[in-house]
Structure formats: C-alpha cells, structure tokens
Structure 1
Amino acid sequence: MNYLLETPTIAIDKSCNKDKSLMPSSAELNSQTNQFINLQQKMLVQLIKQHQNQSGWIVLLAPTAFMIKLLASNNQLPLHKILVIHKSQLTKLNAVINAALTSGKCKVVINCSQPLTDSVNHGYQKLAAQHQAWFYPLDNLRPSLKSH
C-alpha cells in the first residue's frame, strides 16, 4: 500500500457555516478599523490644537506615515512646535517617555507607538502632572479630551 497517494481527510465543523452573522465580514471589520483610525486621527488633531498655546514641544512618539501626512496638510496646526520621534528611533520607549516628560522642554507627549498597560499609562500621566506636562496614549484616547 502506498501511503503517499492517499488523500488526507479533513474534519469540518459544519455548524460554523450555519450562522454567518456571528462573525463580522471582512468589509465590516475594515469599516470598523477605518472608523477607529479616523477617530484616532481626529483626536490627535484635536489634542494638538488643544495644546498649541503651551510653551514647549508637542512630542509624537512613532506616529504612522499617514498621521504625519495628515498633520503636514493641516494649515491650522503649529508644525514648528511638533517634534516627531519615528519608530526606528525608539529603541527604549520608556526611557524616551521619561526623558521627555521630565525635561521641562516637552509639554505634551503623545504615544502613537505600542499600547502600554493602563497602570503604566497612569504612571506616566502622574509623572507628567508633576512636571506641568501632559501624557496621552493615543490607543486609549476617548472622544472627550480633558486636561489634568
């Protein structure tokens, strides 16, 4: 008997095909993802406008290329006050955040990079408040932005 010629049998759970409404379609997932990205971009612009009169840098940590283009195309933003640190320059995210918040020259730090835990974000927000600065994790932003 030649085992190499036999076709393997694959078990299929046909119950998964019965109710497709349990899983969103790829178009729905793309739409939800796009809505989330658009919301993040709007909130980023809103944040920058909210803090444009602060003395000091507004630091963006690892924004996407699309976010950078969005900011560059917006005439109402103070681009001369925005410092972008690209992902390739962020070898030690925590050290960069700590340095920015405690420097006195950076008044707003917006983390567009990897999501941090709630406790880490809270710790950075406390550190920022101690140094008269603000820290925002872009992944955790909600539509209503308030200063501390």
Structure 2
Amino acid sequence: MDLAVFQELTEQITLECFFMTDSQQEEKVIQLIDLHHFIECYDSTIKVFDYIQHSINIIEDNGIKKGIFFCDLKYTAPLDLYACEAFKKQHSIKELWFVFVEEDSVSDCSRHIEFIHQNSIEIFYDKIFLFNFFQSIIKEIK
C-alpha cells in the first residue's frame, strides 16, 4: 500500500469514526494496516468491502464474500464468538477467517493452538492463520 492510499484511508477512518476515542481510532488504523499487508502477502486480488464499522473486515476473494478478524494475543480483548456468527449471517458472509498477527518470528504455535481450543475458534472460523507481519509470512493453521 503506498503512502497516499494509506493517508486517504486513515483520513476516512478519522471522518467516519468521529464518535470513537483516539485509542479506538488508532486500533482501526492498525486493523487497516494488518488487513492491507495481509492481502499483499496472501493474494493481492482480494477486494476490501468494509473495515470501518466492525472488528471483522469484509472482503471478496474469488467472488466469495468473506470476513477476516485479526488477533494479536498481546492485546486481545475477550472474544464474542456468537456475535461473529450473527455478523456472518447479517452480512451474508460465506467464510470467516481468524488471523493471529505476530511481530516476532514464531517457531512454536502451541500458545496459538491452546487459544484456539480454549475459545472454540475452530468451530466459528473456517480458516485460521498465523501472520508474521514483519517477515510477511502467512501460515495456515486450519
């Protein structure tokens, strides 16, 4: 993503999310950065539909509407998985993807696997990924 596009999208967040606190707007910008970098690394043909109104980003991948939720285990708030299922139905999403975002290299996925089982992630999400942001590496866990 080039700087001009990034600035345009962050301005859009500032305008459309005027009701959010500064820290909530900052989280949205981080979500936007994660989303666009994930798309660059995974498949640049993916189209983004919505990332502003929800914590789940709505995309189109090969003509299929999907949702992507990014999770950083360092900062994750409690998950409301039933709300995710309702969101999926409400927005006619065919698949939900759960993406762990890591800044450091991860050789052992045991804490991610434990988090998946403790929170029943595999029940609600169709695909689960581990995304090393700085190394631009995506590993599919499920």
Query: Which TM-score band (shorter chain)?
Result: 0.3 to 0.5
Normalising by the residue count of structure 1, what TM-score does the alignment of the two structures yield?
A: 0.33
> Which of the pair is proportionally richer in strand?
2
Normalising by the residue count of structure 2, what TM-score does the alignment of the two structures yield?
A: 0.34
In our comparison, the structure showing a higher alpha carbon Rg is 1
Higher RCO by CA contacts (8 Å cutoff, separation 6 or greater): 1
> Which of the pair is proportionally richer in helix?
1
